[in-house]
């Protein structure tokens, strides 16, 4: 007999759909998998002038949610962001927690919890944890609180502090990462369950809070949507592709490292090749590299035609956490991948079988050059990567793993964790 359907409340700092960057794809993939058997309500912060529009977001989320609630985010930008960073230097709270503080969000959360008895509140990222852990309205049982981490946030901020060159950013990240560490540890202790993206992240989490009750649900991909198709353009034999959100520091750091040190070597050894950089919000510095052989597209509606046409996908990341969706998506399309070891962390992918690894600029350039020179090698890597993704990294498998964890925690059995305070 099948277990009863669960009432799930998803809480996220941005709308998960329609997905255009990695974190959105993870939330979208997991929620659509869960929604096949369970009822999902979603509460998300949304920018004041979102792109795509609020109506498009609501329409996309309504495909798998019974109710969608979008709350305008505080929208800290420009000079306001700098002022908040300065304020955060003097606060015990992290910049992220201060930036997302919203009385309207807290009110909507309490309204939703009063309107329906949820089995689980599933929070994406720890930044809104204090609001989620507040006491439920009178007369309602406390749902299980489950945190989906995406990364170990304090580790990302610590690594970023070590690589930042601007004085203010260096000071900000240097002061901010210990606050994130304290807030993450508090969330790991107080949530009923914590989901990590990789065994490495889980080991860091257990070292931080040995009592954490956790599981690993890796990033995954829709293996039907991301698949080789005859209507897509064939590989052109010369395009090296990087894709990912270009307002996300690990991506910015990685592609600038490749542009400055790896691309000149590859461009010199392979005069016919070209570099395409796909992703929303490219920085001014990335845009400055545009030229006859370097294309920066900005945001695209569908990355799959760009993946299909590329000869090789490069993942030159030097900072990381979780697992990279860009790798499993490229593999699902049967495209060869060249990555640093940091970029490929957390995936059961072997060098020489599923992808090629290079940890410095010459290594990345040489590995990409091998694929450009040997189309048969590229096909073999792509096919092996596709098989790996089908076996290990589908959203259906990830959703099933998450559901098993929720059941182990007692979801749907009238079992809730101990009451939590407001934090």
**Claim to verify: residue 11 and residue 145 sit in the same structural domain:** yes
> Is residue 56 assigned to a domain?
yes
Q: What is the pLDDT of residues 197-225, one digit of tens each?
A: 999 999 999 999 999 999 999 999 999 99
Domain span at residue 364? 239-392
With 80 as the cut, is the pLDDT of residue 389 above it? yes
**Claim to verify: residue 115 and residue 187 sit in the same structural domain:** yes
Confidence bin at 77 (pLDDT 50/70/90) = low
With 90 as the cut, is the pLDDT of residue 420 above it? no
**Claim to verify: residue 353 and residue 257 sit in the same structural domain:** yes
Write down the pLDDT at residue 323. 78
**Claim to verify: residue 106 and residue 252 sit in the same structural domain:** no
**Claim to verify: residue 196 and residue 268 sit in the same structural domain:** no
> Is residue 334 assigned to a domain?
yes
With 90 as the cut, is the pLDDT of residue 80 above it? no
**Claim to verify: residue 340 and residue 355 sit in the same structural domain:** yes
Structural domains in the chain (count): 2
CATH number of domain containing 126: 3.40.50.2000
**Claim to verify: residue 169 and residue 212 sit in the same structural domain:** yes
> Is residue 418 assigned to a domain?
no
With 50 as the cut, is the pLDDT of residue 421 above it? no
Confidence bin at 419 (pLDDT 50/70/90) = very low
**Claim to verify: residue 102 and residue 184 sit in the same structural domain:** yes
With 80 as the cut, is the pLDDT of residue 2 above it? no
Percent of the chain with pLDDT over 90: 77
Angle at 235 between CA 229 and CA 239, to 5 degrees: 140
**Claim to verify: residue 55 and residue 84 sit in the same structural domain:** yes
> Is residue 230 assigned to a domain?
no
Q: What is the pLDDT of residues 336-388, one digit of tens each?
A: 999 999 999 889 999 999 999 998 999 999 999 999 999 999 999 999 999 99
**Claim to verify: residue 71 and residue 163 sit in the same structural domain:** yes
- What's the predicted TM-score (pTM) here? 0.87
Write down the pLDDT at residue 423. 34
Rounded to an integer, the average pLDDT of 18-37 is 94
**Claim to verify: residue 14 and residue 163 sit in the same structural domain:** yes
Q: What is the pLDDT of residues 252-278, one digit of tens each?
A: 999 999 999 999 999 999 999 999 999
Q: What is the pLDDT of residues 124-140, one digit of tens each?
A: 999 999 999 877 778 77
With 50 as the cut, is the pLDDT of residue 146 above it? yes
Is residue 385 within 8 Å of residue 355, measured between CB atoms? yes
> Is residue 185 assigned to a domain?
yes
Q: What is the pLDDT of residues 47-67, one digit of tens each?
A: 888 888 999 999 999 999 999
Write down the pLDDT at residue 231. 94
Q: What is the chain's alpha carbon radius of gyration, rounded to the nearest angstrom?
A: 22
> Is residue 414 assigned to a domain?
no
**Claim to verify: residue 205 and residue 283 sit in the same structural domain:** no
Percent of the chain with pLDDT over 70: 94
Write down the pLDDT at residue 81. 73
With 90 as the cut, is the pLDDT of residue 416 above it? no
> Is residue 81 assigned to a domain?
yes
> Is residue 84 assigned to a domain?
yes
Write down the pLDDT at residue 414. 61
């Amino acid at each position: 007999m099948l277990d009863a359907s669960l009432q799930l409340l998803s809480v996220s700092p941005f709308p998960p759909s329609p997905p255009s960057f990695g974190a959105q794809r993870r939330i979208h993939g997991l929620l659509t998998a869960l929604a096949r058997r369970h009822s999902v309500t979603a509460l998300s912060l949304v920018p004041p002038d979102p792109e795509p529009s609020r109506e498009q977001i609501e329409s996309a989320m309504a495909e798998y949610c019974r109710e969608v609630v979008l709350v305008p985010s505080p929208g800290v930008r420009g000079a306001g962001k700098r002022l908040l960073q300065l304020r955060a230097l003097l606060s015990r709270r992290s910049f992220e927690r201060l930036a997302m503080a919203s009385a309207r969000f807290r009110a909507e959360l309490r309204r939703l919890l009063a309107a329906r008895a949820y089995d689980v509140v599933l929070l994406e990222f720890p930044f809104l944890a204090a609001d989620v852990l507040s006491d439920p309205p009178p007369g309602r049982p406390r749902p299980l609180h489950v945190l989906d981490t995406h990364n170990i946030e304090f580790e990302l901020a610590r690594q970023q502090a070590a690589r930042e060159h601007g004085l203010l950013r260096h000071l900000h990240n240097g002061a901010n990462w210990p606050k994130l560490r304290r807030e993450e540890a508090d969330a790991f202790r107080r949530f009923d369950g914590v989901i990590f993206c990789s065994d490495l992240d889980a080991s860091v989490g257990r070292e931080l809070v040995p009592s954490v009750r956790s599981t690993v649900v890796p990033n995954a991909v829709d293996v039907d949507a991301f698949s080789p198709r005859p209507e897509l353009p064939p590989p052109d034999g010369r395009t090296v592709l990087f894709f990912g959100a270009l307002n996300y520091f690990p991506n910015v750091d990685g592609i600038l490292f490749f542009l400055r040190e790896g691309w000149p070597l590859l461009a010199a050894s392979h005069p016919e090749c070209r570099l395409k950089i796909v992703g929303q919000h490219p920085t001014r510095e990335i845009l400055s590299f545009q030229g006859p052989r370097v294309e920066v597209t900005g945001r695209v509606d569908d990355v799959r035609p760009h993946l299909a046409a590329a000869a090789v996908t490069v993942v030159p990341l030097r900072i990381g956490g979780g697992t990279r969706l860009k790798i499993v998506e490229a593999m699902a399309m049967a495209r060869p991948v060249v990555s640093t070891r940091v970029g490929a962390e957390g995936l059961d992918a072997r060098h020489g079988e599923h992808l090629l690894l290079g940890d410095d600029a010459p290594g990345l350039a040489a590995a990409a050059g091998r694929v450009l020179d040997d189309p048969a090698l590229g096909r073999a890597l792509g096919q092996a990567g596709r098989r790996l993704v089908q076996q290990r990294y589908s959203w259906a498998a990830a959703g099933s793993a998450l559901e098993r964890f929720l059941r182990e925690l007692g979801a749907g059995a009238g079992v809730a964790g101990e009451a939590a305070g407001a934090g």
